[in-house]
Amino acid sequence: MKALSRHHRRTRPGPLAAILAVVAGLLAALLPALSTGAAPAAAATGGSTATVYYSTTSSNWSAYDLHWAPDGGSWTTVPGVAMDAACTGWVKKTVDLGTATGWQATFNNGQGTWDNNGGKNYALGTGTITVKDGAIAHSDPCAGGATDPPPATSATVFYSTATVGWTTVNLHYAPTGKAWTTVPGVGMAAACTGWVKKTVDLQGAAGLAATFNNGNGTWDNNNGANYALSSGVSTVKDTKVTAHAADPCAAVIPDTTPPTVPSAVKATATDTSVVLTWNPSTDDTGVTGYRVTRSGGTKGSVVTSVGSTVFSETGLEAATVYTYTVVALDAAGNASAASAAASATTGHAPPPATAGQMIGTDPRKDPIYFVLTARFYDGDTSNDRGGNQDVASGNAANNDPMFRGDFKGLVQKLDYVKALGFSAIWITPVVLNRSDYDYHGYHGWDFYRVDPRLESAGASYQDLINAAHAKGIKIYQDVVYNHSSRWGAKGLYVPTVYGVRDSQWSWYYDQKEDGFEYDGLTIDSKTGKSYYNGDLWSTAEPPGNTCLNWGKPTGQKSPEGYTLYNCQWPNPTSGMFPAKYYHQCWIGNWEGEDSRSCWLADDLADFNTENPEVQNYLIGAYNKYIDMGVDGFRVDTAVHIPRVTWNRRFLPALQQRVLQDWGQDKAQNFFVFGEVGAFVNDKWNRGSVNHSAQFYTWKERKEYSPDDTTAAIEQYNYEEQLGTGNQPTSANAFLEGNAYHTPDHSKFSGMNIIDMRMHMNFGDAHNAFNNGKDSDDSTNDATYNVVYVDSHDYGPNKSSVRYNGGQDAWAENMALMWTFRGIPTLYYGSEIQFQAGKTIDCGPSCPLATTGRAYYGDHVEGTVTASDFGTVASASGPVATTLAQPLVKHLQRLNQIRRAIPALQMGQYSTDGVSGGGMSFKRRYTDTASGVDSFALVTVTDAASFTGIPNGRYVDAVSGDVRTVTDGTLSLAAPGKGDMRVYVLDLGGRNAAPGKIGTDGPYLK
């Protein structure tokens, strides 16, 4: 069972004596093995030592005991050794580790309430350590003593924690002309909500240089410049320094008002998992979190701290009643009364799946292969389903059910993807879908369940993630926050009242089946068709109907000529969906505010994403997939949710869960890229900033109403009035001359984007290049842009067909995507121009086999083994023929070249000093920590001249040609359409130019 919170306390009833008497039996599943003969630890006497400080601000226990064991040694006797008061908010203990260099620790109140790091224990090292709210850091929070130096010789530094969110802050400083403190510096003390402070002796100096860190290696050093502070009082907030400042905490009045009691607490059990949701509490200064208490089962009471209004647990006991209450907390430590209790009864445990873990490397290193899972490769025919449109669509005649490909098929063809050179796969949504034609995944119904039509025995979603990771391939899951299917969303709201099922419609709508639960897989034994609505349909108006004019003919006919009735199926204005959960309007203006608050189509029920219950439902659902180890989310219809809602609710919750599961190093590389549909060629989508892709890469720059619905309108109006000329700009994608600089991501929202402007212009690669770079100064960091030519929705210029520009144009487009800034992405089959010129999507009005979403499996039958990314060890059958195609060879070599040159993966770029008028640029990536320095000159198709470049030896990764530059100039002849030159500066050592990479092919030579 994965730990659900880093601060996980478990309480047992009864006096301490009773607990001690039966400790081995009661705590065996919870605490480490105990040695009743172990003596209490005393202060250090020799060998390695450690001093641990434990925060008392969240627990408020009357006593604190440290129960611990050195690595390889015995545990202290329960409850451990008493900790000593250190300073306000902290207790401490110094222990002798002997020859050990690490130790395990838990904390308790001596009365049976424990903090054991969610069942994992705390793994600690030597030196000074702090443990606060589950976070481990390294500093002395009480450093400096109780007496501050005199004001005339001191500096008092206030540091804002509101943005960084650190629980421990250290000040690492040097008085002017004096030595720096020892890393990580001195601990800063809490001053008031959102601020910590420290007063330091300047030793006669007039000021100091300062940096800040969290004790775990994350620093704020003013983007490498350090902070210059003066004597007296200074404040540092979001990199802004205010000298001789007023005390930001001077006017703070002690907060004694508790938050309101959490309401509408609801527990729902699925198998042995429980999801708990509630409405957010309010507070005069702001709610900082919640404390969830769970009772039931054999393990007794459990208390968990959470930051959002959704809490989920897995691996609970089967067939057991669990009861939950919730308490709201504020920054001052005030707690609300406990909520009303909510209970849920678990079912039987599902078969266990091996836990996954995200890979966590820089996403810019990983080219993406995009597949519609249901149309890629059929590994298990038993889960194929055609649905009630199978015959009408023409799919049945082709023996081509809409749900055909599956996870088992994708697992079987991972080596094909790796042989092409891709190290990330973007898959369409995996949640249980529900509509008449739902193979694509964008009609979600049960967001907490993986669609059974994609899974097989031994090939669950978890198995796919694990198998991909074993080959070094990431999984990016397509997710939908904007809408559900027109049948609603299970667990949130499902309308159960529908219109007339007469003799004409009986083929289309299933007969009512009491007790039936939709799963997409179950087949009606009477008709041989999949059930789609047998649990929902009503042929007589039921009590409580809210749909207007139920069952009355509308006066219109369906395309088949059938009579249409009111309430025949859901729509936003029928009264079938409550405004609490769903918006109740149709889009009128695609560039207006209503495009973020109305329905896109009748089969896409638009969530009221500004409602806390909807937010909780979606956050809880997608937490499940983060826990499984997916490496990122592609966000569908991102533009149809206000940016302020993303920035306030969904993106922080997502990042919090990733951080909780996988830690800071991996969390920063969880890749989120949004579909912001801007199908125009201009930089700003018809002049609307709110509907332009780059707009979604930024944080908010203004406070709005606490109510999310009001805030969305306020934000829309505010930003539209500011207009395109007053939007933030960034140099993160651009070199400074020939030099790489550390990017500034302090204003990054957390959402990257699909490069819609390049996509729309890939009818001609030169247009794509020029239009793409034209938007980069308004994007927070365009080196993270996802770049593709066509997709499951559109080709360039909003074409409704798959790209049909020809092989030469494809080769040229690929050469540009694989060398220019951004992350190259290819839609499945484009490596062989699969279905070029075919309509991408015509719904059930034509067979899938005739469309851009045709089944691809016939082209990858046979066997293939990849020896590395872009390299085939062996292949046989049709897949061998596929891998021998010209564009495949071109693609493999592009991936080999990109993988070998860091500048092409993560580098900033510049066209300064580059002439020739073509697709030519220079790129550089420098990482001082790893010693990487990579500089490359690139030209695709066209001749180019580079001036003002560093002198030295340059080697072309395509041809192997060597040029020595002595006057800062390098001129290159046109390599030809689809070909390119990538001259890498040979800096020696680990930064030596790689030379010629791969073998010549039809284009790269």
Residue type, 611: N
pLDDT at 591 over 90: no
How many Cβ atoms are within 10 Å of 217's Cβ, its own excluded? 12
Q: What angle do CA 901, 902, 905 make, to 5 degrees?
A: 100
What pLDDT score was predicted for residue 680? 82
Q: pTM for the full model?
A: 0.70
Q: What is the SS3 string spanning 808-877?
A: HHHHHHHHHHCCCCCEEEEECCHHHCCCCCCECCCHHHCCHHHCCCCCCHHHHCCEEEEEECCEEEEEEC
Record the tokens describing residue 318, joined without a space. 């089967």
- Nearest in space to 674 (alpha carbons), one of 585, 748, 589, 593: 748
Record the tokens describing residue 123, joined without a space. 């793994």
Return all residues near 929 (Cβ < 8 A) that are at least 6 apart: none
What pLDDT score was predicted for residue 847? 98
Record the tokens describing residue 336, joined without a space. 């609300």
Asked whether the beta carbons of 476 and 634 are under 8 A apart, the reply is yes
Question: Lowest-confidence range among 321-325, 433-437, 900-904?
Answer: 433-437
pLDDT at 119 over 90: no
Asked whether the beta carbons of 308 and 8 are under 8 A apart, the reply is no
Q: At what angle do helices 807-817 and 886-900 cross, to 10 degrees?
A: 10
Asked whether the beta carbons of 34 and 27 are under 8 A apart, the reply is yes
More confident residue, 109 or 351: 109
107-143 burial, b if ≥16 CB within 10 A, otherwise e? bbbbbbbbbbbbbebbebebebbbbbbbbbbbbbbbb
- Nearest in space to 474 (alpha carbons), one of 364, 377, 359: 359
What pLDDT score was predicted for residue 38? 31
Condensed to tens digits (0 to 9), the pLDDT of residues 323-352 reads 999 999 987 889 999 999 999 999 887 665
Count of alpha carbons within 13 angstroms of residue 578, beta-carbon side:
12
pLDDT at 752 over 90: yes
Question: Lowest-confidence range among 28-37, 38-47, 589-598, 718-727?
Answer: 28-37
In angstroms, rounded to a whole number, what is the distance separating the alpha carbons of residues 783 and 921?
A: 14
Q: Residue 36: pLDDT band by 50, 70, 90 thresholds?
A: very low
């775990």: which residue's tokens? 216
Residue type, 211: T
- Nearest in space to 235 (alpha carbons), one of 194, 291, 174: 194
Condensed to tens digits (0 to 9), the pLDDT of residues 252-287 reads 677 889 999 999 999 988 778 787 888 889 998 788
pLDDT at 497 over 80: no
In angstroms, rounded to a whole number, what is the distance separating the alpha carbons of residues 465 and 454?
A: 13
What pLDDT score was predicted for residue 152? 59
In angstroms, rounded to a whole number, what is the distance separating the alpha carbons of residues 55 and 588?
A: 54
Asked whether the beta carbons of 506 and 532 are under 8 A apart, the reply is no
In angstroms, rounded to a whole number, what is the distance separating the alpha carbons of residues 404 and 375?
A: 6
What pLDDT score was predicted for residue 351? 61
In angstroms, rounded to a whole number, what is the distance separating the alpha carbons of residues 349 and 268?
A: 15
More confident residue, 91 or 535: 91
Query: Three-state SS for 235?
Result: strand
pLDDT at 629 over 60: yes
What mean pLDDT do residues 372-387 have? 93
H or E stretch at 888: helix 886-900
Q: Residue 908: pLDDT band by 50, 70, 90 thresholds?
A: very high
Question: Lowest-confidence range among 21-30, 641-650, 709-718?
Answer: 21-30
What pLDDT score was predicted for residue 3? 29
Query: Three-state SS for 769?
Result: helix
Question: Lowest-confidence range among 76-90, 661-675, 792-806, 948-962?
Answer: 76-90
How many Cβ atoms are within 10 Å of 284's Cβ, its own excluded? 12
What pLDDT score was predicted for residue 259? 94
Condensed to tens digits (0 to 9), the pLDDT of residues 128-174 reads 888 888 888 888 888 754 455 565 578 999 999 987 878 789 999 99
pLDDT at 1 over 50: no
Count of alpha carbons within 13 angstroms of residue 242, beta-carbon side:
11
What mean pLDDT do residues 455-471 have? 92
pLDDT at 526 over 80: no
């419609």: which residue's tokens? 505
pLDDT at 27 over 60: no
Where are the strands (E) in 523-607, listed by range? 553-557, 563-565, 604-606
Residue type, 802: R
Question: Lowest-confidence range among 15-19, 85-89, 694-698, 788-792?
Answer: 15-19
pLDDT at 17 over 50: no
Q: What is the SS3 string spanning 152-213?
A: HHEEEEEEECCCCCCCCCEEEEEECCCCCCCCCCEECEEEECCEEEEEEECCCCCEEEEEEE
What pLDDT score was predicted for residue 251? 67
Q: Residue 648: pLDDT band by 50, 70, 90 thresholds?
A: very high
Asked whether the beta carbons of 788 and 756 are under 8 A apart, the reply is no
Q: Residue 692: pLDDT band by 50, 70, 90 thresholds?
A: very high
Record the tokens describing residue 838, joined without a space. 């075919």
Q: Residue 118: pLDDT band by 50, 70, 90 thresholds?
A: confident
Query: Three-state SS for 913?
Result: coil
* Percentage above 90 pLDDT, the chain: 65
What pLDDT score was predicted for residue 350? 62
What mean pLDDT do residues 308-320 have? 80
Return all residues near 381 (Cβ < 8 A) that are at least 6 apart: none
Q: Residue 525: pLDDT band by 50, 70, 90 thresholds?
A: low
Question: Lowest-confidence range among 205-214, 759-768, 899-908, 959-968?
Answer: 205-214
Record the tokens describing residue 796, joined without a space. 């360039």
Q: Residue 24: pLDDT band by 50, 70, 90 thresholds?
A: very low
Asked whether the beta carbons of 107 and 121 are under 8 A apart, the reply is no
